[in-house]
């Protein structure tokens, strides 16, 4: 009887300690107007780029559509805890290959993980990845699949020999958490350990945001605004926050002028 009570008490203490140290994190990714303007400018400056929008070539009837960012597909978020052990490989990920694109443009996995590329397009594709010697062009027909192991960390650009505009990224990195992003930019991580963390955002071939934060308490919120594509990763500094405030002020002024 005494042994039973001792086990129960120890279990309760463990539960209490876990509930105190575990934190539920909620976050939000926002795309600024300035960020879209920079993407538009990059497209105009690059003669070899393919415009992303409703019109890929000027036709004299409608202008090229502005750049847009699909938060569920175009970006990836990885969270790293300081001092965390090397994460295990992810379960096998099935990733659909559509006509001329992947179902998600950015996929973040842990090293030693496998992706099964499943052909959902009625057309043949020949996928390959730059910088990965064992991911060479290989014809893949409809309803077939191709498993690829990503043994080590790295950024791998996925292309297709038959569709020149095909472009996607597989990012193998030892992240502690890889949250899914909703269409509104929201994400959540439950039961995080207390400690120091770094959140990184990946977009079109590189990390563009790096934000450090500390987890303590039962609930925590974090907000990240995509502001710039050029230069080093954005550290979400106070100067950028001031720029955001100025941008919102300008937008408010524009709306007032329109209403008047």
Task: Indicate the domain borders of the chain.
Answer: 23-46+180-241, 85-175
**23-46+180-241 and 85-175, same CATH topology:** yes
Q: Which residue has the tokens 């509930």?
A: 19
Task: Give the 3-state secondary structure of residue 79.
Answer: strand
Spatial distance between the Cα atoms of 28 and 221, rounded to a whole number of angstroms: 8
H/E element holding 236?
Answer: none
Mutual orientation of helices 33-45 and 238-259 as an angle, nearest 10°?
A: 90
H/E element holding 243?
Answer: helix 238-259
Whole-structure pTM value: 0.77
Q: Which CATH superfamily is domain 85-175 in?
A: Cupredoxins -  blue copper proteins (2.60.40.420)
Spatial distance between the Cα atoms of 121 and 237, rounded to a whole number of angstroms: 43
23-46+180-241 domain in CATH 3.30.300?
no
* Cβ-proximal residues to 9 (8 Å cutoff; 6+ apart), any chain: none
Neighbouring-strand partners of residue 177: 79
Per-residue pLDDT of the chain (260 residues; tens, 9 = 90+): 555 444 444 443 344 444 446 889 999 999 999 998 888 888 777 654 444 444 455 555 555 667 889 999 999 999 999 999 999 999 999 999 999 999 999 999 999 999 999 999 999 999 999 889 999 999 999 999 999 999 999 999 999 999 999 999 999 999 999 999 999 999 999 999 999 999 999 999 999 999 999 998 888 999 999 998 765 566 654 444 444 444 444 555 455 554 55
């Amino acid at each position: 009887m005494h042994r039973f009570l001792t086990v129960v008490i120890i279990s309760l203490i463990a539960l209490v300690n876990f509930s105190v140290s575990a934190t539920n994190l909620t976050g939000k990714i926002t795309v600024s107007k300035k960020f879209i303007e920079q993407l538009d400018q990059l497209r105009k400056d690059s003669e070899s780029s393919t415009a992303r929008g409703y019109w890929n070539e000027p036709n004299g009837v409608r202008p090229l559509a502005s750049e847009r960012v699909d938060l569920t597909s175009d970006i990836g978020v990885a969270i790293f805890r300081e001092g965390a052990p090397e994460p295990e490989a992810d379960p096998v990920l099935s990733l659909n290959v559509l006509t001329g694109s992947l179902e998600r443009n950015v996929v973040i996995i842990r090293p030693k993980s496998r992706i099964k590329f499943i052909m959902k397009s009625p057309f043949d594709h020949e996928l390959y990845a730059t910088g990965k010697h064992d991911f060479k062009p290989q014809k893949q027909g409809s309803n077939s699949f191709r498993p690829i192991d990503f043994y080590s960390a790295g950024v791998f650009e996925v292309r297709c020999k038959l569709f020149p505009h095909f472009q996607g990224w597989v990012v193998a990195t030892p992240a502690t958490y890889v949250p899914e992003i909703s269409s509104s930019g929201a994400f959540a991580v439950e039961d995080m350990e207390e400690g120091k963390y770094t959140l990184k955002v990946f977009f079109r071939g590189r990390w563009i945001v790096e934000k450090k934060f500390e987890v303590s308490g039962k609930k925590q919120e974090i907000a990240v605004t995509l502001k710039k594509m050029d230069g080093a990763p954005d550290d979400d500094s106070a100067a950028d926050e001031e720029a955001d405030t100025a941008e919102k002020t300008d937008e408010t002024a524009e709306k007032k002028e329109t209403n008047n």
